[in-house]
Amino acid sequence: MKSSLFGAHLETATTGQRFALQNERLLRVTLGPEVMARQGAMVAYQGGVQFEFEGSGGVGRFLKKALTGEGLPLMRCFGAGELFLARDARQIFLIQLEGESLTVNGDNLLAFDATIEWDIRRVEGVSVLAGGLFNTVLSGTGWVAVSSFGTPVVLQTDVPTFADIQSAICWSSDLQTSVQRTMKLGALVGRGSGEAVQLAFSGQGFVVVQASEGPSVPPHNHGS
């Protein structure tokens, strides 16, 4: 049988790296150590791979998930084999933590090493009325895979940096956050820009911003 499909799209050879990109929209994980992944993200696997529902990991996190609405439905993946993960054909990027912390929008978190600690925390300086800004903080050593709706940009925060609340994928956890409000009087009579509230970052670090507010964001004015 002949087809161009069997050329560039063949499974890549094992590189020895547990987390690797099969292509820009498909993550390949070599199991051994356990992996935490978003429920429903598995598209294929080879070998003896098993999946279990992962609870909140304690009463504290359960209450945070219930009260904040931070969406992080997880499954624990274990066994021996190759696991392929994806999310709505979004682009996928790998980040290796080395004893550091990373704050991630729960919607953009695809998978991470089970050895990494995670918790749900309120973004400092952002009230629930400004969009319910509760995100997931990952800490420790291991791999993290995040998804991006469109090609992202990494912004260094050595100058004042602002991002749309729905567009910020992840950022350095030691950055200070606050709300930047730019609503003017004209917004009260329907003449606003539609960009009334942004997330402001200060300190030394980075912010990753996707090229979209997400796949299906209805017309809105960011809390104005």
Residue 81's pLDDT is: 93
Q: What is the pLDDT of residue 34?
A: 95
Residue 192: predicted pLDDT: 45
Looking at residue 144, its pLDDT comes to 97
Tell me the average confidence (pLDDT) per consecutive run of 10 residues in the chain, 224 residues long: 73 77 95 94 96 67 47 88 96 96 93 94 60 80 96 94 92 88 53 65 95 66 51
Determine the straight-line distance between the first and last CA of the chain, rounded to whole angstroms: 59
> Looking up tokens 């953009």, which residue turns up?
108
What is the pLDDT, as a whole number, of residue 206? 96
Walk me through the domains of the chain, giving residue ranges and CATH numbers.
16-209 (3.60.160.10)
How high is the pLDDT of residue 195? 56
Q: What is the pTM of this model?
A: 0.81
Do strands 117-122 and 176-181 pair parallel, antiparallel, or not at all (unpaired)?
A: unpaired
Q: Taking a C-beta distance cutoff of 8 angstroms, is the pair 103, 171 a contact?
A: yes
| Residue pair 193/86 in contact by the 8 Å Cβ criterion | no
Tokens 């529902």 sit at which residue?
A: 53
